[in-house]
């Protein structure tokens, strides 16, 4: 897959992986249609893309609103024509064990952003993607393959995303549209600034600094770009992540124990 003069729509493009991916694509000469709720940050990303050599428009979008997602796709098609790729990257997270949750609506909120937002955008983009034989990209997580304590709502949304796009891959086999599911581990992004507590409100406090053991955004985006060019079906980042998938098949209880131990250590370190 070539990137020059191709049009990509990216949700969650105001920060983190989405922002870095947009700028990398701009350096390859791509056209970018950028979506996020933070208009000021989104405009800055668009400006950075222009400086990097690409073309870019910012379309402030709340992906939980189907009409807003339809407007996003229409703006992209109107400005650049055929869509070569849709990158579903918008996301929020949580940090609370299920038995401490007091506001169950946080599960709906996370599901609407992380999962349904991807469903809505994909629905409206699919006709254009079929016409161009384009690429669907879902930025999921290793949490879409394993259970992780304190993140039950986030994990559920990523499992839903994994199942949805795995199904679409099969349904779209004869259309020329490929589906790539990306599963990073810990990446040093600002998603921790959008973490909800058990009461459904942002924690607004720093969690444990995981940056020392997290993949850099730069490394993460480089891997995503390579997988997009190769039109791969799946990208599981880090040797540890790939090993975990195999171990889950032969020793699932041990993987559960190790995951619980790791999260417990993180919580104790953050106190």
Q: What share of the chain is helix, strand, coil (3-state, %, to 5)?
A: 55, 15, 30
Residues whose CB is less than 8 angstroms from the CB of residue 147 and which lie 6 or more positions away in sequence, other chains included: 155, 256, 259
Dist. CA 252–CA 258, nearest whole Å = 10
Farthest-apart Cα atoms in the chain, separation: 53
Distance CA 21, CA 33 (A): 12
User: Which residues are catalytic, by number?
Assistant: 154
225, 110 Cβ separation under 8 angstroms: no
Strand, coil or helix: what is 195?
Answer: strand
Which of these, 239, 215, 235, 216, lies nearest to 226 by C-alpha position? Answer: 235
C-alpha to C-alpha distance for 78 and 138, rounded to whole angstroms: 23
**DSSP code at position 34:** E
How many Cα atoms within 13 Å fall on the side-chain side of residue 237?
A: 26
Q: Which long-range contacts (CB under 8 A, 24 or more apart) does 146-149 make?
A: 146/244, 146/248, 146/255, 146/259, 147/256, 147/259, 148/259, 148/263, 149/97, 149/259, 149/260, 149/263, 149/264
Ramachandran bin of 54, using left for φ above 0, alpha for ψ from -120 to 50, beta for the remaining angles: beta
């Amino acid at each position: 897959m070539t990137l020059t003069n191709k049009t990509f729509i990216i949700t969650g493009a105001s920060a983190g992986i989405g922002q870095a991916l947009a700028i990398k694509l701009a350096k390859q000469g791509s056209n970018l249609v950028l979506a996020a709720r933070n208009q000021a940050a989104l405009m800055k990303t668009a400006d950075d893309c222009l400086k990097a050599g690409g073309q870019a428009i910012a379309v402030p979008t709340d992906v939980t609103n189907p009409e807003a997602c339809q407007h996003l796709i229409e703006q992209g098609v109107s400005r650049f024509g055929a869509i070569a790729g849709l990158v579903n990257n918008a996301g929020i997270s949580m940090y609370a064990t299920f038995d401490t949750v007091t506001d169950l609506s946080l599960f709906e909120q996370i599901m609407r952003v992380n999962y349904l937002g991807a469903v809505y955008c994909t629905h409206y983009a699919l006709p254009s993607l079929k016409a161009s034989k384009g690429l669907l990209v879902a930025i999921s997580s290793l949490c879409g393959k394993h259970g992780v304590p304190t993140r039950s709502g986030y994990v559920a949304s990523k499992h839903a995303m994994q199942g949805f796009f795995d199904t679409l891959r099969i349904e779209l086999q004869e259309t020329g549209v490929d589906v790539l599911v990306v599963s990073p581990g810990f990446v040093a992004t600002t998603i921790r600034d959008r973490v909800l507590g058990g009461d459904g409100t942002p924690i607004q406090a720093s969690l444990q600094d995981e940056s020392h053991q997290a993949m850099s955004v730069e490394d993460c985006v480089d891997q995503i770009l390579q997988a997009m060019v190769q039109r791969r079906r799946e990208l599981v980042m880090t040797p540890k992540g790939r090993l975990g998938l195999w171990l889950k098949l032969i020793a699932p209880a041990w993987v559960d124990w190790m995951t619980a131990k790791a999260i417990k250590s993180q919580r104790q370190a953050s106190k």
